[in-house]
């Protein structure tokens, strides 16, 4: 829903938490991954916040995106992850270094320096 509000997203995330705590999340149609569900929630929140920025501060030139560094060799991902920390930093640094006059990407999910459709 492109018109989803932050409060609605918070309610949905709360419903997931309650369903997961009750062990009923799969029966309610939620995925079997708290990590993945929260990542989707954060990505949707960034889209909502980007939309709000566009509506309330259109002349400020602020771009807001979600980004995924990929599977990076960290304490969490372990030594078998496919990317080094330096490779994982490429997309966040790319986004941080966009030219001052850039108009996009904005409100997107960016992975490997490319906007992802989802």
Provide the annotated active-site residues: 35
In the chain, alpha helices (H): 6-22, 34-56, 85-88, 90-96
Spatial separation of the C-alpha atoms in residues 42 and 66, rounded to whole Å: 8
Q: Which residue do the tokens 């001052």 mark?
A: 100
d(CA 62, CA 102): 9
């Amino acid at each position: 829903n492109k018109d989803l509000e932050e409060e609605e997203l918070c309610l949905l995330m709360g419903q997931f938490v309650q369903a997961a705590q009750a062990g009923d999340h799969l029966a309610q149609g939620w995925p079997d991954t708290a990590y993945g569900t929260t990542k989707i929630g954060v990505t949707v929140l960034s889209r909502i916040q980007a939309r709000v920025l566009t509506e309330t501060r259109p002349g400020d030139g602020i771009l807001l995106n979600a980004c995924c560094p990929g599977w990076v060799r960290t304490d969490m991902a372990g030594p078998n992850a496919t990317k080094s920390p330096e490779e994982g930093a490429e997309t966040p640094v790319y986004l941080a270094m966009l030219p001052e006059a850039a108009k996009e990407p904005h409100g997107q999910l960016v992975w490997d320096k490319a906007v992802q459709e989802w």
